[in-house]
Amino acid sequence: MRTEQVKAFLAQHHLQERYLHFAQSSATVELAAQAVGCAPRHIVKTLAFKTRQGPVVICLAGSARIDNRKFKALFHEKPSFPHGTEVEQLTGHPAGGVCPFALNEGVKVYLDESVRPLDVVYPAAGAPDNAVRLTPQELQQLTAAPWIDVSKTA
């Protein structure tokens, strides 16, 4: 796990006080929302995909799902999720703790439009028991990731 690297990244950007550690798991949207004390839509799930161009992570609002049609239109292939330990091998973070910072080299980050209208969001911070509190604008500034539209609401 790269929790320490995520913490160092946040400190470089003077955001270390935004790091949250939980006594319980925050590995799913529901568990993270309970740990944070917020609505599930404010949890940012960072989903990993295997593509022909290399690994990709997409940050979506917790209440959104990948729209396969939109994904294929943008990436020119069907979404393919890594399995088991492959998530950590591709991204550097374990399943349930994938975050858009301190990723393996070559991993491309995208932010889905479902995140943009929220006032505060909570992506994982490198482990399945933590998060970081950010605004969508801060998330975009920290990742320098483009905004895309590949989601649908549940």
Domain of 142, in residue numbers:
3-146
pLDDT in tens, 46-77: 999 999 999 999 999 999 999 999 999 999 99
Whole-number mean pLDDT of the chain? 95
User: Which residue shows structure tokens 């309970």?
Assistant: 34
pLDDT of residue 69: 97
User: Within a domain: residue 153?
Assistant: no
pLDDT of residue 44: 97
CA torsion angle 12 45 87 148 (round to 10):
-90
Question: Structurally, how many domains does the chain consist of?
Answer: 1
Extract the residue ranges of the chain whose pLDDT is less than 50. Answer: none
pLDDT of residue 72: 97
User: Within a domain: residue 152?
Assistant: no
pLDDT of residue 84: 80
DSSP state of 77: S
User: Within a domain: residue 151?
Assistant: no
Q: For residue 118, what is the domain's CATH number?
A: 3.90.960.10
* Distance, first Cα to last Cα, the chain: 30
